Amino acid sequence: MEVKSEIFREYDYSSVSITNGNVISKYRFNMPTIERDEKPLEYDNENDLVVQRKRNEIIEIEHKKSSKLSEVGLQLWRGAFLLNDFILSTQHLFNDKIVLELGSGVGITSIVASIVAKKVLCTDINIAGILDLIKRNLKLNSHYQRTKNNIEVHELDFFAEKWSDQLELAIKDVDICLAADVIYENDITNGLIKSILKLFNKSKKLKEMYMALEKRYVFTDKVLAPMYECFIRMFSQQTAGILKISECPTDFPQYFEYDRCKELVLFRITKI
C-alpha cells in the first residue's frame, strides 16, 4: 500500500524531480535569533549592539513524495515540523547539548538541532537507503551546522539485539533525545518504548526526551486515536516506576510552513 504525507497536499515546497526518482524540496522557515553561550556580543562602528533579526531561510531536503508503509521514513511528516519549531523556540534546552534523534527519516529535525546543539546523533533503521539519504541531506544543509560535522549518522534499529559499539559509546554522553512521528504501528511502538528504556539506562546524562506525534483519528461509532491510545497504554505498562510522560503546551512560535493542527502532540519523557 502506497502512503503519502499530508504536508505535500497543503503547501507548495517547490519540489524538483531528480534522476533517482526522488524530489528535492525547499522547506522555508524564519530563523530566530540563535542563542550561543560562548558567542561574544557584536557592536557596529557606532558602538551600537548588533541585534540579529529574523531571517528567511530554506532547508533543502531530498525525499520521496509517497512510499510503502514500511518506508515512510523516506517522506517528511508533520511531527518533524512541530519538533523543529520546538527546538528553535527553546534553544536554551539544546544549546551545548548532545542530542540523539530516533527514527530521523530524511533528517530534517537533526539538521535543525545541529543549528543549536553541540553534537547530534541522527539515527534510523538502515532500510531502503534511508541512512544514505540522510547523509545526502546533511551535505545539502551543512552550512547550518553550528560547528563543522557536528552531526553523526548511526543505524539504530529498535529491534536489534545489539547496537554498534560506536553508537553504544556515543550514547553514554547523550543529554536529550528526540523523536517525531514514530507512533504508527503497534510492533514499532513496542520496540520504540524498549529502546527509550535502554537509552535512559545507558546514558547517565540523559534527563529528558521530547516526542512529537500526530493523533490520527478513526471514526466508527466512537472517535478513537488507536495508535496514540496504544502508545500511552504500552508506555505506562512498560515504564511504570522508571519513566514518566507528560504532554507539553504547543503554543510556542511557528517558524516552519506547515499546518500546526490541533492533533499534533508533544510529549516530555523524564526519569522518575
Ligand X SMILES: C[S@@+](CC[C@H](N)C(=O)[O-])C[C@H]1O[C@@H](n2cnc3c(N)ncnc32)[C@H](O)[C@@H]1O
What residue ranges bind ligand X (CB under 6 A)?
72-73, 76-77, 79-80, 103-105, 124-125, 130, 156-159, 180-182, 184, 188, 191
Burial 112-150 (b: 16+ CB within 10 A, else e): bbbbbbbbbbbbbbeebebbebbebbbebbeebbbeeeb
CB of 198 to ligand X, least distance (A): 12
Closest CB to ligand X among residues 98, 112 = 112
Q: Which is nearer to ligand X, 8 or 144 (CB)?
A: 8
CB of 63 to ligand X, least distance (A): 9
Answer yes or no: are the C-beta atoms of 266 and 211 closer than 8 Å: yes
User: Of the two residues 79 and 146, which places its CB atom closer to ligand X in the complex?
Assistant: 79
* H helix intervals, the chain: 7-10, 78-89, 91-94, 108-116, 130-140, 165-171, 186-202, 226-239
Torsion angles phi and psi, residue 42, rounded to 5: -105, 140
Whole-number minimum distance, CB 38 to ligand X, in Å? 30
Residue 37 or 258: the one with the smaller Cβ distance to ligand X is 258
The Cα–Cα gap between 193 and 239 comes to: 8
Calpha distance 201→121 (Å, rounded): 17
Contact by Cβ (8 Å): 73, 153: no
In this chain, which residue has its C-beta nearest to ligand X?
Answer: 73
**Burial level of 43, CB count in 10 A (0-12/13-18/19+)?**
exposed
Between residues 96 and 126, which has the closer beta carbon with respect to ligand X?
126
Taking the complex as a whole, the smallest distance from the CB of residue 193 to ligand X amounts, in Å, to 12
* Cell numbers that stand for 191 in this block: 520496540
C-alpha cell of 144? 547550518
Tell the smallest beta-carbon distance from residue 179 to ligand X (Å): 7
Is-contact 103 124, C-beta < 8 A? yes
Least distance between ligand X and beta carbon 82 (Å): 9
Question: Is the Cβ of residue 155 or residue 208 nearer to ligand X in the bound state?
Answer: 155
CB of 216 to ligand X, least distance (A): 11
Q: Which is nearer to ligand X, 116 or 158 (CB)?
A: 158
